[in-house]
Amino acid sequence: REMSGLCDGRVVIITGAGGGLGREYALAFAQEGASVVIKNINPAAAERTVGEIEAMGGKAVPNSNDITSHADAGLIVKAAIDAFGDLHVVVNNAGICRDRMFVSLSEQKGHFCISSHACNYWRAQAKDGKPVSGRIINTSSGAGLQGSIGQANYSAAKGGIASLTLVQAAELRRYNITANALAPSAR
Catalytic positions are 141, 154, 158
Could you count the other beta carbons within 10 Å of the beta carbon of residue 171? Answer: 12
Q: HSE (CB half, 13 Å, CA atoms) of 69?
A: 8
Where is 90: in which H helix or E strand?
strand 89-92
* DSSP character string of 14-62: EETTTSHHHHHHHHHHHHTT-EEEEE-SSHHHHHHHHHHHHHTT-EEEE
The residue type at 16: G
Please answer whether residues 184 and 125 qualify as being in contact, where contact means their C-beta atoms are separated by less than 8 angstroms: no
